Every structure is written in C-alpha cells, then in structure tokens.
C-alpha cells in the first residue's frame, strides 16, 4: 500500500506503508550516534527509489521542513526531526521508512487508467493506529473489497 504525498503535473511521490524491513529504528539511531528510543520498531520499506534515504511520516503539522498533505499527514527527511525522534522528544505519531516510490509526469495517471492501482481515500490515522502488515486488509474492507479476490492490483491511498 502506497501513501501518495505529492501528485501533480511533474509526477508523483509516495511511500509504501505496509511493508517492513528487518532493520529496527535503534540500528539507525546508533548509526547516527543518537540514543535509541524505547519503541524499537522496524523500519518501513518505503520504496525502490533512494533506498538509503530515511523518510519520516508524521502527524505534526507545525514542522516547516515537511511536505504536508491536506489531511494532516506529513513527510520529511529533516535530520533535526530524526534527531528529535532518536532523543525521544518527538511529540506526535511517526513511522520511519527507507526509500520512496516515484513516478514521472503522467506515469501514475496512466497506470491508474489501466487499473494497475486501486485508489482509496482514507484517514491517515489508520497508518499510525495499525500494524503495517494489517493495512491492506483494513483499507480493502473499508471500501468493500475482499482483498483475496483482487489480483494484479495494489492499493494506493491518496490525499
């Protein structure tokens, strides 16, 4: 499941929010010489582009360095925010992801027109309140689909 943060005439940018990788946050924080917070969550596999770049998906709307979508979900790569999380001072919900998904101008629109993707509007809280592995089932039930019957499609949530 990919959450789309930006989609305009220049292309689209999204982050996979339902697939984890076997690296925990503490490993990232140790690499950055930061104390490890207590959460010790696995990182998300955000996508195949820029896989060494750390992205923070969060719900704090007052962070200027973030790309904000109209429903209050935000995306940043700001090292100060990552340090705030590592030091245990971040005041909101967040997920960390390595990499992102990107499409050139018109590419995602073309793929959607070919029914390669199912576009769903959803409350961003679902991303923070559920385990990544459960998101596909939860979102598909919200729109009345039995995910086991859908083949050759992915789900994109769009702001």
* pLDDT attached to residue 10: 97
- 127 exposure class (CB count in 10 Å sphere: 0-12, 13-18, 19+): buried
The segments of the chain whose pLDDT lies below 70 read 36-39, 148-159
- Sign for the CA dihedral angle at 130, 132, 133, 136 comes to positive
* pLDDT attached to residue 68: 84
* pLDDT attached to residue 122: 85
Please give the model's pTM, rounded to 2 decimal places: 0.87
Query: What CATH number has the domain bearing residue 106?
Result: 3.40.1740.10
* Phi, psi dihedrals of residue 76, rounded to the nearest 5°: -150, 160
- 21 exposure class (CB count in 10 Å sphere: 0-12, 13-18, 19+): middle
Q: Which helix (H) or strand (E) holds 51?
A: strand 49-58
Tokens standing for 92?
A: 């909101």
Residue-averaged pLDDT of the chain: 88
The domain in which residue 84 lies consists of 2-158
Structural domains in the chain (count):
1
* pLDDT attached to residue 155: 60
* pLDDT attached to residue 156: 61
């Amino acid at each position: 499941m990919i959450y789309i943060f930006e989609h305009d005439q220049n292309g689209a940018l999204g982050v996979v929010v339902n697939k984890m990788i076997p690296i925990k946050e503490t490993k990232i924080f140790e690499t950055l010489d930061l104390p490890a917070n207590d959460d010790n969550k696995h990182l998300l596999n955000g996508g195949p582009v820029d896989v060494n770049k750390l992205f923070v998906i969060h719900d704090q709307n007052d962070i200027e360095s973030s790309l904000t979508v109209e429903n209050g979900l935000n995306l940043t790569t700001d090292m100060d925010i990552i340090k705030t999380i590592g030091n245990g001072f971040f005041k909101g919900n967040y997920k960390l992801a390595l990499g992102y998904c990107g499409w050139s101008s018109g590419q995602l629109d073309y793929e959607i027109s070919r029914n390669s993707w199912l576009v769903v509007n959803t409350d961003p809280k679902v991303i923070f309140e559920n385990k990544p592995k459960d998101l596909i089932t939860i979102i598909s039930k919200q729109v009345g689909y039995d995910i086991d019957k859908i083949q050759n499609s992915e789900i994109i949530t769009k702001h």
